[in-house]
A and B are shown apart, each in its own frame.
Chain A
Amino acid sequence: MAEQKPNAMQAMRPGRRGPMMQVEKPKNMKATLKKLIGYIGRNRRNFFTLLGVTLSITAANLLAPALQQRAIDAIEASLPQKLLLMLGLMVLTYLMNAGLTYLQGIFSAKLAQGTVRTMRKDLFARLVRLPIRYTDTHNHGDIMSRMTNDVENISNSVSTSIASLCSSVLMVSGCFIIMICYSPLLALVSTLTIGLTLLASTFITKFMRKFFVRQQRILGAVNGQVEEMVSGYRTVMAYNRQERAVDTFNHTSDQLKKTAIYANIFGGFMGPVMNFISNVGFLLIAIIGGYLASLPQDHLLYITVGTIQAFILYSKQFSRPINEIANQYAAIQTAIAGAERIFEVMDSPIEDEGGNAPYNPKTVKGALSFQDVHFAYEPKKPVLQGFNLEVEAGQKIAIVGATGSGKTTVVNLLTRFYDIDRGSITIDGTPLTAIPRGKLRESLAIVLQDTVLFSDTIARNISYSKPDATMEEIEAAAKATGADKFIRKLKDGYDTLLTEGGSNLSQGQRQLLNIARAVLADPSILILDEATSSVDTRTEMHIQSAMVALMKNRTSLIIAHRLSTIRDADKIIVIDHGKVVEEGDHDTLLSQKGTYYNLYQSQFAGIAT
């Protein structure tokens, strides 16, 4: 294991462990590093102050052994005055060093936090403006981990690595120069042993790595099993699988134990081997130095005894930062790999502002026209192929079709979550792409099957669609949907704080809040995408009147599979394979005995079969 170092900052932060951390290699080190430096550069003042402070500390650290050496020389030569002088200088140096170290701590924290704060800010600002396609096609956990783990790694690296890397490099070069001045031969010996240490450490690390990789893998398996069995405990229990689960788990757990012990055994050799090599170097310096000191004084290689002692101190100071650089290198690599992932998000193209045609969300009538629309989420897998639809302002349109027929895609295109590949969509005759994106969305309200609630009060969740709504307006919206009844039953009423996306509410209640939100938005165009499939039919019936009121005087697109929601529509369109195959009202479509009739038979009229 790595040598224990009194790095207070790192050791004292709870919950952070490094020994088994896997080093990750960035793909494009140079470009990422450049960008990262750009971020650090925004705190230029902090950075250069930190650099200056670090430089001074290094100088103080180089000075200290020299002073100590003089002090010992003074003792040897019995010069009390000189000893006192040297001790006084030492105290001064140390005080200065301490003061500088404090400043270093402050400035490196400022630099790290400042950098990370800007990064987080930029990352989030970017993320919020990324197209829906991005969130749809990327794993949410993965996106989250960029904000958490990757940023954290960068913060650690910036706060500790930069300072320690700078001081290490300065220290090594300083020591090296001084050592060469003292005795080139001994300097060579010192350098050789350090080379040997490095070589040994790379070799051992490489050898060890496979054990740690294996350990990591089995740990993953153990955690996977825990996750699966604990979150599926209902099924585990219903099928009496507890014992089997325990057996399997015990087996994996044993495996983990075995690999971990192997990894530890080999890992444990690292320290002693390094220690041994550095002591061999130390001994070589003492022996060769002793020999050189015994040479005649006019010999080219002659050195004094004091020099040997200074050398021993310097060679110690020489080797420590080299180990540190090696340690930091791994941490920095991981951080850069993290930065790469963050920049990848930041470099993704964001949504544009849309067009600049005059468009007033409040006065829009809501006549929609889809003409020969083609669209595919993935190339060569067309979803809409020549989709045509005319909707008059204020019409209620129901869209039905089998799963995967492209119903939701219509919504995605109308809201410009996705853009069409070919054809055109217009609102009141204005092409979607000409309308400013924000204004377009202001004229729409959507209610989706998956409810979205934020950790905030109920009132603020309803007013999400209209942040400046008064309490009266909010309550009116809740009353219109029938949500008011259950809200009042809650302890804090409208001020009830929702936790974890509203997990303290039932699915139906969550959806009522989402519908209330749409009511409050008072849009020209309303989109209900399977909005009521998660509430039961009776509840749906009870909010039906609210829905009817909500849909009055506005263009409404309803995607649903329940008959009750669809029947009242002015026009029902049936989508199949990305095209409108039938349209008309309920009775007309039924009498056609086509696709709608079949769908109806298999789904809505099930009671009769």
Chain B
Amino acid sequence: MKLFKYLKPYWFWAILSPLSMIGEVLADLWLPKLMSLMINEGVLKQNQEILVAIGLRMLLIVLLGGLSGSLCSVFASLASQNFACDLRKDVFKRAMGLSFQQTDKFTTGSLITRLTNDITQMQHFVEQCIRMFIRSGLMFLGGIIMMLSLESRFGLILLCSLPLQLLLMALVLKAANPLYAKVQKRLDAVNNVMQENVNGARMVKAYVQEEREVARFNEANDNLTDTNLRVAFIIARLSPVLSIIMNCSVVAILYLGGLQTMAGAMEVGTIMAAIDYNTRILHSVMMVSMMFQSIARGRASAKRLSEVLETEPAIKGGDYAPKTLGAITFEQVGFHYPGFEGRTVLKDLNLTVNPGENIAILGATGAGKSSLIHLITRFYDTTEGQITIGGKPIQDFDLTALRDKIAVVLQKSELFSGSVAENIRWGNPDATEEEIRRAAEIAQAAEFIEKMPDGYDSVIAEKGASLSGGQKQRLSIARALVRKPELLIFDDSTSALDLSTEGKLRRAIRQELKGTTLITVAQRIASVKDCDRIAVLEDGTLSAIGSHDELLKTSPVYQEIYRSQTKEGGMIDG
């Protein structure tokens, strides 16, 4: 449990809590004794004064016990909540610092679960440990001591019942445990069928496969029910077995105690107290074993969190932070995604992007266009060859300094909750309102933003679910423009715009951002025709480079793409 260090700063609360627990446990243990006294001295001997006196003492103890119990829970929650809060912050910070390949490996879904569920699990776990575990332990020990102090022979009863109880519980739990994983699997299967049918309803209906889906679901459903029943049947054994042990020890106490009392060595109230202690002891054993279950669960969560915390960012920057970047050169660059050794994405790629140049990268899906962009921003590192910027290896650059000079508009527009203006301001936190408006205008977004009910203050809900694909792309572009970057990269990020809007956008960018290096990744020739140079990627390597007219004459690949988008050359002017 390496996460223990997060509890350290709050050791004070973590220790105070069990300490005040002692008060509660003592009160709980004291009460049966007082009760027996009350019955022996007050009720049986019909002494009202003693009755009232003991009664008041009882109430006082209950009050004190309750108070220390409340304090205990306050301290426990102080410790566990602070612990969870620190842990959550650290894991989040670490998650934000992960490199792309690491986030991909964890998958975003899993990272989210770790940050939400697992943290909550850990918080509950720590709280339970502090409160329940220690409470049960104290209760167990205290109960045994009190019971033995009543009559040492009662120990014999405990000696029989305790090991038996532990053994039986272990047996039942051992039988049930492996089934839980199975239940989860079966449940996933049921949900999966459901999910597919909700999302693919059109396909199911179009091919009239309702019956088949129902059959598929029924099978998954029956499987789940069977497994659930198996678990329930096993668990159903636990409760009766435990109650037999508990009740038989009560009978044994009555018998042993009865003989003693009849011999005049014990009083009736004592037997009642012993029964009470017996119940508490066996109960606390049960609680402890339940705790072992939750320890197993806590451990799983802790492991998943440690995994995140122990992941060092795979990509670290240097400390070189120049004022301007300069030319970007790819020298014999090869690349495959981490973990996919067999699948080469880029190979032997040589390319230089000059400052201020307007260059396009064209190629089919899977040709390696986006990967090339990811290398420039150091989202990934090359696996062969190297990239230099202004003559310096890219690894020497400070990551923040490097990315501050670059603005990428990604293929998938990711927007965040907040207003339109806030989303654009992501590009540059210090941007003035004027700058934001200007960026929106260049991005051809101003028009639709102003039509929104609150203009720039309109709130974007659910990652822009209310916006069209083209609108989201234009907002992402505005976000990149407001950054006033040295290098602006469009990664196939105008695909949802119609050509006239795209044309206006390109003209505006050309006019407004003179001197900015522009890299455009695209599939449509129409989007890149006017670039200074077009680099044609084919199967991960540079197939041709040159202007539109040059490529039309020299590159067969380019010609083929061109034909596929126009059908026949004559149409261009038609």
Contacts and interface: CB of A to CB of B under 8 A. Distances in A.
B483 interface: yes
A417 B412 CA distance: 30
Contact of B132 (A4, A116, A309): A4
B286 to A, nearest CB: 5
Given A8-B239, A121-B217, A606-B526, A305 B365 contact: no
A127 B197 contact: yes
A230 B247 contact: no
Interface in B542-574: 560-567, 571-574
A567 interface: yes
B403 A144 contact: no
17 contacts: A6-B239, A13-B180, A76-B268, A101-B240, A102-B236, A113-B228, A129-B210, A226-B112, A238-B377, A239-B427, A246-B96, A305-B43, A465-B207, A506-B366, A537-B524, A538-B561, A603-B499
Contacts of A452: 196, 199-200, 202-203
Contacts of A95: 244
B290 A271 contact: no
A98 interface: yes
Interface string B177-210: 0001000000100111111111111111111111
B481 interface: no
Contacts of A21: none
A241 B479 CA distance: 13
A286 B287 CA distance: 31
B164 interface: no
Contact of B208 (A106, A223, A244, A441): A441
A119 B244 CA distance: 36
B63 to A, nearest CB: 6
Nearest to A143: B198
Nearest to A148: B191
Given A537-B523, A606-B503, A289 B43 contact: yes
B414 interface: yes
A415 interface: yes
B67 A272 contact: yes
Contacts of A265: 70, 73-74, 77
B514 interface: no
B225 interface: yes
A140 B202 CA distance: 14
Contacts of B70: 265, 268-269, 272
Nearest to B66: A272
A602 interface: yes
B243 A98 contact: yes
Contact of A94 (B66, B243, B272, B560): B243
Contacts of A331: none
Contacts of B212: 467
Contacts of A71: 254, 258
Contact of B236 (A109, A121, A129): A109
Interface string A454-480: 110000000011010000000000000
Nearest to B236: A105
A313 B562 CA distance: 91
Grouping DSSP codes into helix (H, G, I), strand (E, B) and loop, the A interface class, with mixed when no group exceeds half, is: helix
Interface stretch (A176-184, A187-195, A200-208, A273-281): A273-281
A355 interface: no
Interface residues of A, number: 154
A67 to B, nearest CB: 10
B121 to A, nearest CB: 8
B531 interface: no
B59 A105 contact: no
A14 B293 contact: yes
A52 interface: no
Interface string A111-151: 01110110011001101111010010000100110011000
A287 B51 contact: yes
A212 B121 CA distance: 17
Interface string A284-295: 001101110110
B191 A102 contact: no
Contacts of A104: 236
B218 interface: yes
Nearest to A508: B365
A106 B233 contact: yes
A236 interface: yes
Interface in A57-81: 64, 68, 71-72, 74-76, 78, 80
Given A109-B232, A286-B43, A564 B196 contact: no
B77 A253 contact: no
A234 B379 contact: yes
B439 interface: no
Grouping DSSP codes into helix (H, G, I), strand (E, B) and loop, the B interface class, with mixed when no group exceeds half, is: helix
Interface stretch (A31-39, A83-91, A333-341, A385-393): A83-91
Interface stretch (A255-263, A362-370, A420-428): A255-263
Residue of B96, B403, B429 with most partner-chain A CB within 10 A = B96
A60 to B, nearest CB: 10
B404 interface: yes
Nearest to B98: A233
Contacts, number: 423
B207 A521 contact: yes
Contact of B500 (A8, A501, A602, A607): A602
A251 B57 CA distance: 47
Contact of A90 (B62, B233, B247, B404): B247
Contacts of B74: 261, 264-265, 268
A505 to B, nearest CB: 11
Contacts of A280: 59
Given A226-B112, A249-B89, A537 B561 contact: yes
Given A246-B89, A261-B78, A87 B112 contact: no
Contacts of A346: none
A65 to B, nearest CB: 11
B251 interface: yes
A145 B193 CA distance: 14
Nearest to A275: B66
Given A268-B77, A275-B66, A607 B572 contact: yes
A105 B523 contact: no
Interface string B381-408: 0000000000000000000100110111
Interface string B503-529: 100000000000000000001111101
A132 B236 contact: no
Nearest to A454: B196
Interface stretch (A167-175, A320-328, A443-451, A572-580): A443-451
Contact of B43 (A235, A249, A308): A308
A102 B240 contact: yes
Contact of A124 (B221, B407, B427): B221
Nearest to B417: A228
Residue of A132, A148, A233 with most partner-chain B CB within 10 A = A233
A455 B524 contact: no
B201 to A, nearest CB: 5
Interface string A1-29: 10010101101111101000000000000
B213 A128 contact: yes
Residue of B98, B206, B502, B564 with most partner-chain A CB within 10 A = B206
A588 interface: no
A507 B403 contact: no
A125 to B, nearest CB: 5
Interface string B435-479: 000000000000000000000000000010000100000000001
